[in-house]
Amino acid sequence: MRIVFVGCGAVGGYFGARLLQSGEDVTFIARNHQLAALKQQGLTIKSIAGDACITDIQVMDKPDAGFKADIIFVTVKTFQLAGALPAIKSMLAPHTRVIPLLNGISAAKNLMEGGIAKQHILGGLAKIIAKVSEPGVINHTGATPHITLGLFHDSEASEQTVVNDLAQRLKKAGISTGLSRNIELALWRKYLFVAAWGALACVARVPVGPLRENSGTRAVLIKLMQEYRAIANSLRVEINQQIVDETLAFIDQLPEQSETSMQRDIASQTPSEFDALVTDALNLAREQGLDVPRLSFCHAILALQLGQ
Q: pLDDT (tens digit, 0 to 9) for every residue of the chain, 308 residues total?
A: 999 999 999 999 999 999 999 999 999 999 999 999 999 999 999 999 999 999 999 999 999 999 999 999 999 999 999 999 999 999 999 999 999 999 999 999 999 999 999 999 999 999 999 999 999 999 999 999 999 999 998 888 899 999 999 999 999 999 999 999 999 999 999 999 999 999 999 999 999 999 999 999 999 999 999 999 999 999 999 999 999 999 999 999 999 999 999 999 999 999 999 999 999 999 999 999 999 999 999 999 999 999 99
C-alpha 235: how far from chain center: 21
Integer Rg of the chain from CA: 19
Structural domains of the chain ordered from first start: 2-181 (3.40.50.720), 185-305 (1.10.1040.10)
Residues 211 and 200: beta-carbon distance below 8 Å: yes
What is the pLDDT at residue 229? Answer: 99
What is the pLDDT at residue 154? Answer: 83
What is the pLDDT at residue 155? Answer: 87
What is the pLDDT at residue 98? Answer: 99
